Amino acid sequence: MFELLKTDAHSKARLGRLTTPHGVIETPVFMSVGTQASVKALDPRELREVGAEIILGNAYHLSIRPGIEIIRAAGGLHRFMSWDGPILTDSGGFQVFSLSRIRKIKPHGVEFRSHLDGTLLFLGPKEAMEIQRVLASDIAMVFDDCPPHTSTSRELQAAVERTIRWARECREQPRSARQLVFGIVQGGAAPALREECARALVEMEFDGYAIGGVSVGEPEPEMMKAIEATEPFLPAHLPRYAMGLGTPAQLLELIARGVDMFDCVLPTRVARNGTAFTRRGTINIKAAPNKADFRPVEEGCDCFACRHFTRAYLRHLLNVEEILGLRMLSVHNTHVFMKVMADARNAIAAGTFGEYRREFAANYRPTQRVLLARAAAAGR
């Protein structure tokens, strides 16, 4: 159940509360990505400490390793990974359609080769929903066709038609107790296709709606236009989820456009390369000036890494390839994303979101390294 608690007077920003079988989620929310049943470099205790409310798993990857029977025997994904909070699972549609050279589209799904050993596999609406039923995630995503941003008009139209047809098949499948199911709107950068897809999915009465096919390599203005073309056709009383996004600055712009839920691999991915997010942009901890810099990663940050370690120490750990370095940067980066969301929620509640958004944008400066990493992370 989703409760819309407040809307911003000067934008489309929303304050909400989503109730799931494993807990309540305050929105806007950033969801940490745990594709393989683990958020890279972080354990459940650390995720709780930085304020994580919900994490993601991926049906495609988990069905291959460790295999759905192992997770079934464990009692579901929550028990398997020792996370007692909400979990959203992606259906694997994006991953399957990214295997363009080794897959064949069929009426009821996709035949493809495993990216691990080449085994012939098939995944469609029935299979994706069955996997997610066994995983017993709190939120399951429908199986969709996510085309690349370079697709032709004909290809986009075909992808939308498949997405609608497969969403209907997903809607008919059994689900685990109290499991929510979200539809996914496709349509590329074509406003008419976005509207067509959104209207068709809304008629099916899903529990929430995601905006897919964004952050797949397209320029940022095109991504924002796709969001803006979709949002007006999504029900105001249900949660909206922009898949695979984004940087802290992007998240605030998307909140202002009426989106409630986000996920992205950036916080932990760039940490492994020595990059730290701050409220003023990004820092390359490996850079020479940090060799004797005994300040925390970010002044005023109260995460575990900033309370206990200096830039100089973390730089040393990264340079000698000690795993603690990338773990602590992952803690810090994830904390930053959670703090931005918490501050956004507080600002919406106080009626000061516009001021908070403007101030953040004026001070935030991403580095080229993060821009490149963002491109590498494009997609779900």
Domain limits, the chain: 2-263, 271-369
DSSP state of 142: P
Q: Is the pTM of this model over 0.85?
A: yes
Q: Any idea how long the chain is?
A: 380
How many Å from the N-terminal Cα to the C-terminal Cα in the chain?
Answer: 24
Question: E strands along 59-133, which residues?
Answer: 87-90, 103-106, 109-113, 120-123
Q: Are 181 and 212 spatial neighbours (Cβ–Cβ below 8 Å)?
A: no
- What pLDDT does 371 receive? 52
DSSP state of 290: G
Query: Token pair 């320029």 is at which residue?
Result: 219
What superfamily in CATH does domain 2-263 come from? Queuine tRNA-ribosyltransferase-like (3.20.20.105)
Question: E strands along 197-287, which residues?
Answer: 208-211, 240-242, 261-264, 275-278, 281-284
pLDDT tens, per residue, the chain with 380 residues:
999 999 999 999 999 999 999 999 999 999 999 999 999 999 999 999 999 999 999 999 999 999 999 999 999 999 999 999 999 999 988 888 777 666 888 999 999 888 788 889 999 999 999 999 999 999 999 999 999 889 999 999 999 999 999 999 999 999 999 999 999 999 999 999 999 999 999 999 999 999 999 988 899 999 999 999 999 999 999 999 999 999 999 999 999 999 999 999 999 999 999 999 999 999 999 999 999 999 999 999 999 999 999 999 999 999 999 999 999 999 999 999 999 999 999 999 999 999 999 999 999 987 755 554 554 454 44
DSSP state of 64: I
**pLDDT tens-digit map of 256-272:** 999 999 999 999 999 99
SS3 62: helix
The residues carrying an active-site annotation are 90, 263
**pLDDT tens-digit map of 56-105:** 999 999 999 999 999 999 999 999 999 999 999 999 888 887 776 668 88
| Cα separation, 216 vs 377, whole angstroms | 9
Residue 18 bridge partners (DSSP): 2, 25
Pairing of strands 103-106, 109-113: antiparallel
